[in-house]
Homo-oligomer: A and B are copies of this chain.
Amino acid sequence: MPPSRPAGPSVVTGGAGAIGSTLVRALLERGATVRVIDNLSGGSRTHLPGQGTAPGLTLTEADLRSPDSYADDFRGASEVWHLGAIADVRLGTQDPRIDLENGTIATANVLEAARRHDVPRVLYTSSSTVYGRPTVFPTPEEYGPLLPESLYGGHKLAAEGLVSAYAHSYGISAHIFRFANIIGPGMTHGVLVDFFEKLRRDPARLEVLGDGKQAKSYLRTEDCVAGMLLARERAIEPVNVFNLGTRDRTSVREIAEKVVRAHGGRARIEYTGGETGWTGDVPQQLLAIDRIVRLGWSPSGTSADAVDRTITEMVAARRAPP
């Protein structure tokens, strides 16, 4: 049995989401048995092979806030990938309970289920938002102090703290991945989805939040998943923290212009102005990826490549709806 194949099933929370379902396919390809837990609020059965019924795959439709409803999935599992979360950073500021319940408390529930069922490994998908507004670019994993600006980021940091504490207190191996902006098929939120949605409503005008100078690193979903799987094999500290992103960044202005071009080039771009797009937004994001590159991973292209490829897919998907 190759080391990449765990002895027991892999639990994937949020496994019906854009990133989760890509991970699920990769795990199935490696011969794993996969148990997805998803409340299908952001995710969808259609993202999963056989709508969640492919050989080796099960889908439990359950909310992470209700641990009794999915505890059985942890029985005998050899690892849990905890991706389940409310993925839209902007919602939290409007109602602070959203991220508390779906972020930190959900993570505490997942960790507690892992502990009770002696699951030996937890892999958690965190975010560049834990860095707040760093003063160092690219920002390394050692950067501190971590002063997140959004509720979403605050709860990502909170969850990191709990993952680390559970790992050390109960002998669970842990991986924490801090994501740049991950883009690819099946997304339900984010700047690309927003822009296409706005142009669908009004093809003549694209309103852009902020001054367009916000610049972040965009990484393709499949690259992100490949990085996580590699780190799972090769990083053996009790708790392993890895940034995942590209070495460059793309401005919101560039993205807006690319989307408008892909949409026929007729729309006028209007900037609302201001350094940030919304409360809690961080204008610049670029993660140091040396740590995971040293393990043997690299992104398949630049941030601009990832944006281009995703725009092309989105245009194709609009022309040929499923």
Contact = CB atoms under 8 A, between A and B. Distances in A.
Interface of A: 92-93, 96-97, 100, 104-105, 108, 111-112, 115, 130, 132, 141-166, 168-169, 239, 241, 279-280
Interface core residue of A96, A105, A155 (most chain B CB under 10 Å): A96
A131 to B, nearest CB: 9
Contacts of A157: 157-158, 160-161, 164
A280 B168 contact: yes
A166 B154 contact: yes
Contacts of A144: 141-146
Interface residue SS majority, chain A: helix
Contact of A154 (B149, B162, B241, B279): B162
Stoichiometry (number of copies): 2
A156 B104 CA distance: 13
A107 to B, nearest CB: 9
A146 B168 contact: no
Contact of A168 (B149, B166, B168): B149
Given A149-B168, A153-B165, A168-B280, 11 more contacts: A96-B111, A100-B108, A132-B164, A144-B146, A146-B164, A147-B239, A147-B241, A148-B161, A149-B165, A151-B169, A155-B165
Nearest to A153: B165
A165 B141 contact: no
B146 A146 contact: yes
Contacts of A111: 96
A130 B279 CA distance: 27
A168 B154 CA distance: 10
20 contacts: A100-B108, A104-B104, A104-B158, A105-B105, A142-B143, A142-B144, A142-B145, A143-B144, A145-B241, A146-B160, A146-B161, A147-B164, A147-B168, A149-B168, A150-B168, A151-B166, A157-B164, A158-B162, A161-B161, A165-B280
A93 B241 contact: no
Nearest to A100: B108
A241 to B, nearest CB: 5
B148 A164 contact: yes
Contacts of A153: 161, 165
Given A157-B158, A161-B158, A169 B241 contact: no
Contacts of A146: 144, 146, 160-161, 164
